[in-house]
């Protein structure tokens, strides 16, 4: 059974915005990674592009669910995105020995807006009207 939703609901709007932002950022990471960081090697560029692919896939799935009005499916995609961003955050916290303080700080803080918006959108969806 598919549950249809109204697109104007607060949590749905937040999750849809996060999904669209994820697609946009992912596309930039794939097509123009140097806009986001200064690559030191081809390996770094490749890794940036693979992260972009992940974000485009997760964001596209969430956008498609939103367009179909399927709240449960949108929440599943948003949860996958939140898990991914949360893992990125934790990895950033542990990255100082590998990349130094400045890069570790950037790696840690970069997913924070997505984590915060994802939590907000998902928790608002849990509230009863």
pTM: 0.84
Helices 71-93 and 101-109 cross at an angle (nearest 10°) of 170
Percent of the chain with pLDDT over 90: 70
* In contact, 58 and 81? CB cutoff 8 Å: yes
Site of tokens 């109204």: 6
Domain carrying residue 42: 10-126
Domain presence at residue 91: yes
* Alpha carbon distance 114, 91 (integer Å): 15
Domain presence at residue 4: no
Domain presence at residue 109: yes
Question: How many distinct structural domains can be found in the chain?
Answer: 1
User: What are the tens digits of pLDDT across the range 37-91?
Assistant: 877 788 888 989 999 999 999 999 999 999 999 999 999 999 999 999 999 999 9
User: What's residue 76's pLDDT?
Assistant: 97
User: What are the tens digits of pLDDT across the range 77-91?
Assistant: 999 999 999 999 999
User: What's residue 8's pLDDT?
Assistant: 42
């Amino acid at each position: 059974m598919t549950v249809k939703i109204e697109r104007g609901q607060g949590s749905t709007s937040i999750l849809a915005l996060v999904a669209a932002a994820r697609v946009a950022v992912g596309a930039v990471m794939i097509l123009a990674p140097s806009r986001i960081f200064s690559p030191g090697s081809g390996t770094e560029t490749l890794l940036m592009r693979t992260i972009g692919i992940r974000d485009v896939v997760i964001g596209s799935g969430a956008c498609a669910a939103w367009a179909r009005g399927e709240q449960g499916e949108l929440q599943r995609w948003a949860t996958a995105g939140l898990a991914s961003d949360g893992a990125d955050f934790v990895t950033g916290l542990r990255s100082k020995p590998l990349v130094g303080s400045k890069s570790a700080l950037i790696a840690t803080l970069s997913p924070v807006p997505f984590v915060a918006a994802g939590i907000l959108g998902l928790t608002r969806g849990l509230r009863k009207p």
